[in-house]
Amino acid sequence: MTGLPPFLAAAARLSPSAPAELARLAGLLAQLRLVVPDGQRIGPLWQQAQMLARRLPAAAPEGGGVPILSGFAPLELFRDPARIAALLRGPDALLEGIRAGQGLVVIDGSNEGRPVVGRYIDSLHAALAAAGIPPARTVWVQQNRAIAAPYAEACAARGVAPVRMVVAHSHAAELWARLVLRRGGMNWDFGFAVAHDGARRHRWVCLNYHLRPHRALLVAWLRERPEPGYLSFSVTREVQGRDQARLLVAEAAALDRADPDGARAAVLRLIDAGLHHGSDIDGFDHPRERIYSLPAAEVAQAELFIVTETEMLGPGLLRWTEKTLKAIGSGLPLVVFGNPGVVGALTALGFDMLGDFVDHGYDAEPEPARRFAAARAAVERFLARPPGFTAAELARLRAAAAHNHAVFARVMLRDSLLDPIAAILEAARG
């Protein structure tokens, strides 16, 4: 690693390809000229890419290549064509060039993911038509890996040409920078929760932020179990208004077909009690901090990481968030209450998901209520084990953590950032 700056030499020890991949990233950025629409913010995809590339000692200068008009596009914008229209404003010469096939509009929502939503499609295409931007000169970036085919079908039904969909994941890219390059500081290291021997205080750990039906129902169940665990969950922080609470209760009941009335009552008890179990997130100055933080001292005392992903109920969605990646990073066995196919997709990337500790059969179940029940049963089977880990089990977990650290270092930058930007440049030149 002679001649590399210290941060990059450390990354290269984990992933020998890291220096070449970061150089490739800088080279890709040098081939584009990024223009942010007036009054808009740069999107998370480009923000992460620029911060990484600028750390290189001889990064290629930006600004001399294919013009890309791109602003940050949180999914809430898609409810209104006028708000999307603000992302399509730029210098007249740039817009004329894009209309003529020189350059590209990139709708950057790489920090989120949604299934096909008719209103979103209508808003996007109405805004593109009003601005005279051909869909062929537009890329929509988001996290849903299953959106391209149903989106194309929805466009065909509407008689409009589809934009190009590109999957990227800005949070995964930043987590890569924090865990591999040690950028920004971290309060935990990969595999930290299996680095020590001895008894553990918690049979499980379950961390939640935004209140969701599957989270509330799971928390109600966990609080009734006899095993000690560590819970981060708050009703007071998240529920605003009784209408939202009623919707939450109804959707929670739909997840428990065996006892919907019991599910309603259990979630209502949480809401009425104003339950608040805080963790490190209570002290955050900015909500962004929670994305990468873990209450490391508590996670290190746990045996099972119960992940409650952002979504569990909707069809047509395959994505994972930093929540699942952080659970893998802890080194603990995990159960994911989330979208179908998450565990399988992460396994396909090379991660060891510790199937000998946890039955991940729930991952293949497409129907949310059955998937919730199967995931809960997987938790129950794990908790039926004797408390703690044997020496052989700890050795197995540590080997898996080392393997997963290497996979994370080797794969995550390419999957979340490099390949998406390469696909955008290919579309711009096509």
What's residue 234's pLDDT? 85
What lies within 8 Å, CB to CB, of 395 at 6+ separation is none
What pLDDT is recorded for position 56? 72
Q: Which of 376, 362, 372, 299 is CA-nearest to residue 331? A: 299
The proportion of the chain whose per-residue pLDDT surpasses 90, expressed as a percent, equals 73
Cβ atoms 160, 187 nearer than 8 A: no
pLDDT of residue 87: 95
Q: What is the Cα–Cα distance from 97 to 267, expressed in whole angstroms?
A: 55
Distance separating alpha carbons of residues 59 and 46, to the nearest angstrom = 15
CB contact at 8 A, 90 and 69: yes
pLDDT at residue 242, rounded to an integer = 45
426 by Cβ neighbours in 10 Å (0-12 / 13-18 / 19+) ranks as exposed
Tell me the torsion sign for CA atoms 116, 119, 120, 122.
Answer: positive
Q: So what's the pLDDT on residue 349?
A: 97
pLDDT at residue 181, rounded to an integer: 86
Q: Which helix (H) or strand (E) holds 364?
A: none
What is the C-alpha to C-alpha distance for residues 14 and 115, in angstroms, rounded to an integer?
Answer: 35
CB of 119 closer than 8 Å to CB of 77: no
Q: Which string of DSSP letters, residue by residue, matches 80-104?
A: -HHHHHGGG---HHHHHHHHTTSSE
Burial class (CB in 10 A: 0-12, 13-18, 19+), 42: middle
Q: Whole-number mean pLDDT of the chain? A: 91
Low-confidence ranges of the chain (pLDDT < 50): 1, 239, 241-242
- What residues have CB less than 8 Å from 414, skipping those under 6 apart? 21
